[in-house]
Amino acid sequence: MTELAYLTATEALRLFRTRQLSPRELMTAVIERAELVEPVVNAFAERMFDLALDAAAAAERHYRPGGHPRPLEGLPVVAKEEQPIAGHLITDGTLLRAPYVATETAIVLTRIQHAGGIVHARTTTSEFCCMPLSHSRRWGVTRNPWNLAAAAGGSSGGSAASLAAGTTTLATGSDIGGSLRAPASFTGVVAFKPPHGRNPILPPAGQDAFFHHGPMARTVADCAVLQDVMAGPDSRDPASLRLTPPGPLGPADAEDLRGLRVAIADAPGDFPVDLEIRATTRATAEALRETGAHVDEVEVDWRLDEVKRALWAHFGSGLAAELLDADRQRPDTITPYTLAFARKAVENAPRMDAATGHRLARSVQHRLDAVLDRVDALVMPTLGATAFAAGEDYVDTALVVDGVELEHFSDASLTPLFNICSTHPVVAVPSGWAANGVPTGVQVVAAPYDDGTAFRVAAAVERLRGAGFSGDRVPVLPAG
């Protein structure tokens, strides 16, 4: 059953079509795997196993002669708990306020269900999805299947951990500062932060240019299959209406990148990056040269302080002030890292007005433009650290990267750059392994709305580096 649980989506669909495997058999394998390892990994916020088995049995009819299977027919999918499903609770991963029942389903989840995907579980997040961690007082600790002492990252940590643990075939997540890409990097899976507007989001969240819903999978091809279903305009998200409907990403041609120009930045600007991660990023550059691509190492003059100030200006103190007020009414209820985030946001808000934020964001974008005006794609680390400790709040404990004690552990994230530069597609793909057994990852960044190039280069990285799940290696997990 473990082998079936790690089957790729593309292979599962082929086996469904040839009737060598049924959707119910795959769903049963995934659920049995979850029953075995979930007590250890803790990736699920809600289980819908019985309904999923019924849906899988119904999906089998579409593969009989004369049937018309849809693009995701019968595939198991987990959804991030933050993304609403009508009739189900939304908790924001917190005990600070009461859960509420969603009245509407996220647009991307509706599309997945209409395409035949079966949501069998919803996944854990950091509290209010505010940090790249994977624990909260509501959910407990979500662990990294490759190293249970390490965090799965966040805020889409449950989705990433589920993929790595073999308890789903596909997953969804969201990303406002790296919440798709950070956990993908730590768990050796693939994630796509689409250009703003590509995947529509219900109002009012869709109005935030930093905010994205995106796919997660164990391979680049599977990620493309899910992204094809999620993308496209919807009248509820005006940003999506301004875009030309995307064509299918299809299988990426990763064999030959001749004529493509790729820039590599193993330690952009003054962002601290662990030596192991720099090494796997440089190895990625060497591998891409084998495809015929023209690869150059570049310097990108991004300043960590400038990026942090742009983020504080964007997020402001609205939610932060509300959280501090709620904490005064219910002390010792909020997760410590969330309280620290709220305090820092309120402290910084008076100095970070909207005009300052726009100026800082333009500066960040200008530095990226200077690179992508000369190349087709930029490849750089997803995170500067090799792992965060499972269950650690990093309030009283400092994170040290390459001998540098970070002011805040989230300074190890190189992901927020592309929430600021939100029209750029970014594929997070595994690049190698750190000594602690946790995967490392790179971000493949392309020009605005050039999703195809980002996927093409990411597929080449996957094939050449053989990291994550593109090889035969899977986590060895104890039974719960």
| Assigned domain for 479 exists | no
Question: Kindly report the CA angle at 433 between 430 and 438, in degrees rounded to 5?
Answer: 90
Task: Residue 110: give its domain's CATH number.
Answer: 3.90.1300.10
Dist CA 90 CA 72 (whole Å) = 25
Q: Which two tokens stand for residue 57?
A: 């049995």
Dist CA 444 CA 5 (whole Å) = 28
| Assigned domain for 339 exists | no
Domain coverage including residue 66: 2-305+354-465
Catalytic residues: 80, 155, 179
| Assigned domain for 53 exists | yes
Q: What is the pLDDT along the chain (480 residues), one digit of tens a residue?
A: 679 999 999 999 999 999 999 999 999 999 999 999 999 999 999 999 999 999 999 999 999 999 999 999 999 999 999 999 999 999 999 999 999 999 999 999 999 999 999 999 999 999 999 999 999 999 999 999 999 999 999 999 999 999 999 999 999 999 999 999 999 999 999 999 999 999 999 999 999 999 999 999 999 999 999 999 999 999 999 999 999 888 888 665 566 899 999 999 999 999 999 999 999 999 999 999 988 999 999 999 999 999 999 988 888 767 888 899 989 999 999 999 999 999 988 888 777 788 888 999 999 999 999 999 999 999 999 999 999 999 999 999 999 999 999 999 999 999 999 999 999 999 999 999 999 999 999 999 999 999 999 999 999 999 999 888 876 789 989 887
| Assigned domain for 325 exists | no
Among 411, 314, 421, 413, smallest CA distance to 362 is for 421
Specify the pTM: 0.97
| Assigned domain for 82 exists | yes
| Assigned domain for 234 exists | yes
Phi-psi region at 6: left, alpha or beta (left = phi > 0; alpha = psi -120 to 50):
alpha
Is the CA virtual torsion 152, 107, 93, 169 positive or negative?
Answer: negative
| Assigned domain for 384 exists | yes
| Number of structural domains in the chain | 1
Q: Going by C-beta distance under 8 Å and a sequence separation of 6 or more, which residues neighbour residue 466?
A: none
Dist CA 374 CA 242 (whole Å) = 26
| Assigned domain for 431 exists | yes
